[in-house]
Structure 1
Amino acid sequence: MHAGPRPSILFVTDLAYPARGRRYCDEDIFLTSRLREEFDVALCHPRDAAALLDGFDAVVVRNSGPVLHYQEAYDAFCARARERKVPVYNPLTGRGDMAGKQYLVDLSAAKYPVIATVDRAGDLGLLPGAAEYVIKPKLGADSVGLRFVTPDALAAEVGAEPDGSVLVQPRIDFRYEVSFFFIDRDFQYALYAPHPEQRWVLEPYEPTTADLAFARRFVEWNDLAHGIQRVDACRTADGDLLLVELEDLNPYLSLDRVTDEVREAFVARMKTSVRALLH
């Protein structure tokens, strides 16, 4: 354990990760500069996290890129953190993207407001009719392996992968996508992409009471006592919100798209959250 007066944090990030339309590294350079006001902070690449975590009071996983690019290293990190009982932020018990995309199938079957999702050829009849369908790997991220197919080709495409390793959804005609950001179940801010073809051109969004109730339902389902979650949803042509993704591993925060006041409040709340995890 760290002997000094300040807790020590191993901050896991890939500063060189080439994200489309945004610079992940800027966000983590900013966040670490602010966390240093209260913690001793060291940065490391996700491939190095397992070897380094012993020397720290906690590990904060941030913009570390899709896990599938370093699955073996990530599994080793999780195993070592559990074995050494080192607190991880977010905790490794997340039921959303942290555990793959199975939750979309489960939530769809449980009639939550999500885009209808199945993972077996035998369940294709549960999906609504659509001009096109989306097939994507359960362990995918950042649109890796995503493809669109016509209704005629759907059964053959899914039948070729009978092990339940892919998800199938109707391609939704939506007005816009909106993201709700939470720390420890407390809502922080929301952002939306008013132009669907520009997913990362985000603007502040003022959620209604119903919008927040929608987002909070998934945060409560996930049951993470600590950490940052991003609830991604789309507004359908009918005006409903449907869950697209529950990002609870390393959600990009788009802190450059919020006001100074909102950003300062987020940083303060994150510091409080990490302190609570340590205690």
Structure 2
Amino acid sequence: MTPARPRVLYVSDLAYDARGRRYCDEDIYLTSRLRARFDLAVCHPLDARALMADFDLVVVRNSGPVLNYRAEYDAFRAAAAATGARVYTELTGKGDMAGKQYLIDLFAGGYPVIPTVDRLADAGRLPETSRYVTKPKFGADSAGLLIVDRAELPGLDYTDLLVQPFIDFEYEVSFYYVDHDFQYALHAPRPDRRWDVEPYEPDEADLAFARRFIDWNDITHGIQRVDACRTREGALLLVELEDLNPYLSLDRVAPACRDRFVEAMTKALLRSVS
């Protein structure tokens, strides 16, 4: 039976210095709205494992790159599984929640993703270009990202490393979901300003593209952001499926859209504890 006012442990690193965003503002806003329906406390990600037993639901939001606290995050996941703790987003995600191996697997499976490999022996499967992007498998927020020349590929340490071609895309676009329900889309018209985003009206083809990855991930309870780039040829390619702690850019949507998102999230959290 769902408690009249479920107890929510809201996980956020309020002091995290994100590039081009203020994580804390978004979480201050969301918690101020969610308190109307939940008894809610905010904690740092390093404290979540010790505190979660006293709550009905753990909501992981803007908690920063797991790369910064990998051992503690693994311990939190293990404890949640052992105790049956409810976590939102649920910890079964196959996207960034589990690292970026999925980009390699999806590329190998023929999905529309940026070509991605993790071995020098597979570099020939990538489109030939003068520049390549390398990033750690458990990175986020561009942590550890490097741009290298083709001649540098043989000298890289491929331990936990991804390699992708540097793509001259037109713009990036993100699709935001609560559980399996589409909420809104935002795009960055200028490739050099990733977080300078504006509302975007997706067409049916855009939504079908994003839905393909939402369905592949098969998460019942959670917030997901499908990030894609529009190539110069007009195609969409997946950049990232963020299912752990996607920043929502709620300050860039209209008030009515923000209200609908809060309502959708509130209903989703209630379903998670029912």
Distance in 1 between residues matched to 2:14 and 2:142, nearest whole Å:
20
Aligned to 1:54: 53
Distance in 2 between residues matched to 1:263 and 1:5, nearest whole Å:
25
In the TM superposition, what are the counterparts of 1:103-114 in structure 2 within 5 Å?
103-114=102-113
Question: What code does the residue aligned with 2:246 have?
Answer: P
Distance in 1 between residues matched to 2:138 and 2:131, nearest whole Å:
22
Distance in 2 between residues matched to 1:37 and 1:250, nearest whole Å:
22
Give the SS at the match of 1:173: coil
Aligned to 2:21: 22
Distance in 2 between residues matched to 1:156 and 1:24, nearest whole Å:
36
- How far the C-alpha of 1:9 sits from its partner, in A, is 0.3
- How far the C-alpha of 1:221 sits from its partner, in A, is 0.3
Distance in 2 between residues matched to 1:206 and 1:101, nearest whole Å:
28
- How far the C-alpha of 1:5 sits from its partner, in A, is 3.1
CA offsets 1:134-188 (integer angstroms, 9 cap, x no match): 111111111111111112222232xx43x4x111100000010000001111110
Give the SS at the match of 1:19: coil
1:200 corresponds, among 174, 195, 199, to 195
Aligned to 2:219: 224
Aligned to 2:89: 90
Give the SS at the match of 1:174: coil
CA offsets 1:207-251 (integer angstroms, 9 cap, x no match): 010000000100000000011000000000101000000000000
Give the SS at the match of 2:170: strand
Can you give the 5+ residue segments of structure 1 that lack an aligned partner in the other structure?
Answer: none
Distance in 1 between residues matched to 2:27 and 2:119, nearest whole Å:
39
Aligned to 1:122: 121
Q: Does 1:187 align with 2:152?
A: no
- How far the C-alpha of 1:132 sits from its partner, in A, is 0.5
Question: What code does the residue aligned with 1:242 have?
Answer: L
The answer to whether the Cα contact below 8 Å between 2:19 and 2:141 also exists between their aligned partners in 1 is no
Distance in 1 between residues matched to 2:210 and 2:183, nearest whole Å:
12
Please list every run of at least 4 consecutive aligned residues from structure 1 whose deviation after the TM superposition is greater than 6 angstroms: none
Question: What code does the residue aligned with 2:218 have?
Answer: D
Output the TM-score relative to the length of structure 2: 0.97
Distance in 2 between residues matched to 1:138 and 1:63, nearest whole Å:
19
Distance in 2 between residues matched to 1:5 and 1:182, nearest whole Å:
26
Question: What code does the residue aligned with 2:58 have?
Answer: V
Distance in 1 between residues matched to 2:9 and 2:144, nearest whole Å:
31
Output the TM-score relative to the length of structure 1: 0.96
- How far the C-alpha of 1:79 sits from its partner, in A, is 1.4
Distance in 1 between residues matched to 2:63 and 2:155, nearest whole Å:
35
Distance in 1 between residues matched to 2:150 and 2:185, nearest whole Å:
35
CA offsets 1:37-94 (integer angstroms, 9 cap, x no match): 1110001000000000010001000001001111122112111111111100000000
The answer to whether the Cα contact below 8 Å between 2:169 and 2:230 also exists between their aligned partners in 1 is yes
The RMSD of aligned alpha carbons is 1.3
In the TM superposition, what are the counterparts of 1:261-272 in structure 2 within 5 Å?
261-272=256-267
Give the SS at the match of 1:191: strand
- How far the C-alpha of 1:20 sits from its partner, in A, is 1.5
Question: What code does the residue aligned with 1:89 have?
Answer: Y
Question: What code does the residue aligned with 1:170 have?
Answer: P
